[in-house]
Amino acid sequence: MDMECYVSMPKVELHAHLNGSVRDSTLLELAKDLGEKGIIVFSDVEHVILKNDRSLVEVFKLFDLIHILTTDHNTVTRITKEVVEDFAAENVVYLELRTTPKRNELKGMTKRSYVEAVIEGLRGVCAVDIDFAPADIELEKWDATCMNNASNGLTRKKIYVRLLLSIDRRETLEAALETVKLALEMRGNGVVGIDLSGNPRVGDWKTFLLALVFAREQGLRVTLHCGEVPNQEEIHGMLDFHPERIGHACCLEEDAWNKLKSMKIPVEICLTSNIRTNTISSVDAHHFADLYKLKHPMTLCTDDSGVFSTSLSKEYAIAATAFNLGKKEMFQLARNAVDFSFAEERVVKQLKKLFDIAE
């Protein structure tokens, strides 16, 4: 299969961080602008943005820089629109986009206004049809309009987008609870769940347990970054919490592996991210092969397509080559991801229909 095949195939993205998925060109433009205003020195950050090989430590330093560049309302709206349009352009039909609500007093930004700016970005998507469950639109009418476009020969792409709000491991329990409450309020605007992420060497995941339990009790879906570093006590604790999905699952020792496999928790696999950050030594050594052989539920994801210069199509191409999988297997892998999405039944049904048509 050539690259074009992976691009044209419908795909589902379940692990993409908003600020990790920003185009380099946008970051450079924003950095130039802040450079001209004397807020940063452009020549100091240009090579940081364009650098390709990064350790896990460097990745989190880069996020601190990206957040300086992106955290005002208009920029959050702009990057959301661009990220969705980029995924749609490579035929991602369902995107579960995650982002950490941020407070920035200098910009008059609260966690709520941050999320509102993200939603404004979804509203602003115009290159494709988008369904992000906005509270003020009747969804059946929306579906009908899109069908109408299709039957009138307007071959516009369509993407379903749902949001996860992330808790950063640097936060306090109070801040995490604020994020969960915000997610509950924003459910009508397509927020479907909570993610725990951030530098895995910072903080203790148990700090957030109460917030995660509260999220689950209130019907939000939960995914955790688990096993990006070899902290076996944390990995066991996370698995025992039984999240509905986990991200990465790289550094699990045998008993945790066995636990994960017997619990059948779906894994969000991020090949390029794991290799670039040296979490896994090479693609051949990646646990994808083991999980695939066992038919363990899993899905290919980009993690941070901007930071790691990748795309979901590229991740499919890498997996197909490394693990010797054909077109049929790759299509099935993409289709299986629909079952692990946190979208409502209506969307799951529509996506399954879409895959049936494309087969």
228 is catalytic: yes
Count of CA atoms in the C-beta half-sphere (13 A) of 345: 0
Q: Which of residues 223-282 bind ligand 6MZ (CB under 6 A)?
A: 225, 228, 273, 277
Determine the size of the site formed for ligand 6MZ (CB under 6 A). Answer: 18
Stretch that binds ligand 6MZ, among 17-25, 130-138, 151-159, 235-243 (CB under 6 A): 17-25
The three-class DSSP label of residue 99 is strand
Instruction: Name 225's bridge partners.
Output: 247
91 forms part of the interface with ligand 6MZ (CB under 6 A): no
The rounded distance, in Å, linking the Cα atoms of 355 and 124 is 26
Contact 196, 167 (CB under 8 A): yes
18 forms part of the interface with ligand 6MZ (CB under 6 A): yes
Binding mask of the shown chain, residues 24 to 63, with x at each position contacting ligand 6MZ by CB under 6 A: -----------------------------------x---x
Counts of helices then strands in the chain (DSSP H, E): 16, 9
Contact 162, 192 (CB under 8 A): yes
CA 256 vs CA 64, 183, 227, 239, 252: distances in Å = 32, 30, 10, 8, 6
Identity (one letter) of the amino acid at 353?
A: K
The rounded distance, in Å, linking the Cα atoms of 334 and 237 is 29
- Structure tokens of 108? 């008059």
**Binding test (CB under 6 A) with ligand 6MZ, winner from 10, 198, 243, 266:** 198
> Phi/psi class of residue 210: alpha, beta or left (left: φ > 0; alpha: ψ in -120 to 50)?
alpha
- The distance of closest approach from Cβ of residue 19 to ligand 6MZ in the complex, given in angstroms and rounded to an integer, is 3
**Binding test (CB under 6 A) with ligand 6MZ, winner from 90, 178, 268, 303:** 303
Stretch that binds ligand 6MZ, among 11-19, 30-38, 282-290, 346-354 (CB under 6 A): 11-19
Catalytic residue among 90, 96, 228, 268: 228
Contact 128, 158 (CB under 8 A): yes
Binding mask of the shown chain, residues 150 to 169, with x at each position contacting ligand 6MZ by CB under 6 A: ----------------x-x-
- The distance of closest approach from Cβ of residue 108 to ligand 6MZ in the complex, given in angstroms and rounded to an integer, is 18
**Which positions touch ligand 6MZ (CB under 6 A)?**
17-20, 59, 63, 99-100, 166, 168, 197-198, 225, 228, 273, 277, 303-304
Catalytic residue positions, numbered = 228
